Structure 1
Amino acid sequence: MAKPNYSFEKRQRELEKKKKKEEKNQRKLAKGSAPDASTVAQASAPADAGIPAENA
């Protein structure tokens, strides 16, 4: 029976943690640079939205 290679398993866990940390950092950077959804909705709404037009 083969004995377990603990150093290999530890290295794999460390690589997985590093990968997750980098992915999280990338998501954080992408989220910070993308405009907020509420800001986009307000900017695309017409200035006179909700104001009824007067009948002449």
Structure 2
Amino acid sequence: MTLFVAYFNFLRPHSALEGRVPVVIPELADLPHMPARWTKLIAMAQAFLQQEAA
């Protein structure tokens, strides 16, 4: 469920928003394809969790 929410809000273009994503993450904007965006999003989440644990 969590991965679907991440996809729906941060990665998936919405027709109601004229092909834009609801929540724009600048670090993902210039990546060429969806697998690269997923990889970056996961890396960002891991970095955040490591920072919080320190």
Same fold (TM > 0.5)? no
TM-score (norm 1): 0.39
Larger Rg over CA atoms: 1
Q: Quick check: which one's helix share is greater?
A: 2
TM-score (norm 2): 0.41
